[in-house]
Amino acid sequence: MHANNAFDVLGRFLNMGIEPYNFVSSLNCILAQRLVRILCPRCKKQVQLTRQEFEDSALDPDKYGGHVFYDAVGCKDCNFTGYRGRKAITEFLDLSDRIREMILEKRPSSEIRKAAISEGMTTLRQSAISKVLIGDTTIKEINRVTFIE
């Protein structure tokens, strides 16, 4: 099913007129994914993010200011794009009993999202940030592919 994230799948079912009791009992989990471009390991360059770039990306400069970030350059190996390949970022919603009850009660997706995160779910944005922090991709790329929370 096409949706922006795992929680939007629930809304899609409801918009199609499917009552929650018809899908909650047979649905175990929802996996949302996106692909992010991976920096070319040969030509990527270290960059220092500006305070504005941190703010635009909803990242705390005090927390991430000392971290090494990279940007795309371009070389012969990557056909001058700065990127070489793609990797998936994922959001996995495990339908625990608590989440199932909230869906059956038709609680707002924002409440279900908070509950899932409190149970340890990683959002698409968090998954994307982890790719940035290990040097696989750029802040610009994850801002292009994910919604800023």
The answer to the question of residue 1 being in a domain is no
For 113, other C-beta atoms within 10 Å of its C-beta total 18
Q: Is-contact 72 80, C-beta < 8 A? A: no
- pLDDT 10s digits, 6-15: 988 988 888 8
pLDDT of residue 22: 85
pLDDT of residue 67: 92
- Domain of 44, CATH number, reads 3.40.50.300
Rounded CA separation 149/126 (Å): 9
Could you tell me the two tokens for 127?
Answer: 């998954």
Q: Is-contact 69 46, C-beta < 8 A? A: yes
| Burial group, residue 67, by CB count within 10 angstroms (0-12, 13-18, 19+) | exposed
The answer to the question of residue 30 being in a domain is yes
pLDDT exceeds 90 at position 80 = yes
The answer to the question of residue 62 being in a domain is yes
pLDDT exceeds 90 at position 65 = no
Number of domains the chain contains = 1
Rounded CA separation 128/143 (Å): 9
3-state secondary structure of 20: helix
- pLDDT 10s digits, 86-144: 999 999 999 999 999 999 998 998 999 999 999 999 999 999 999 999 999 999 999 99
Q: How many CA atoms lie within 13 A of 24 on its CB side?
A: 17
pTM summary value:
0.86
The answer to the question of residue 114 being in a domain is yes
Structural domain boundaries enclosing 63: 6-145
Tell me the average pLDDT of the chain.
93
pLDDT of residue 25: 85
The answer to the question of residue 37 being in a domain is yes
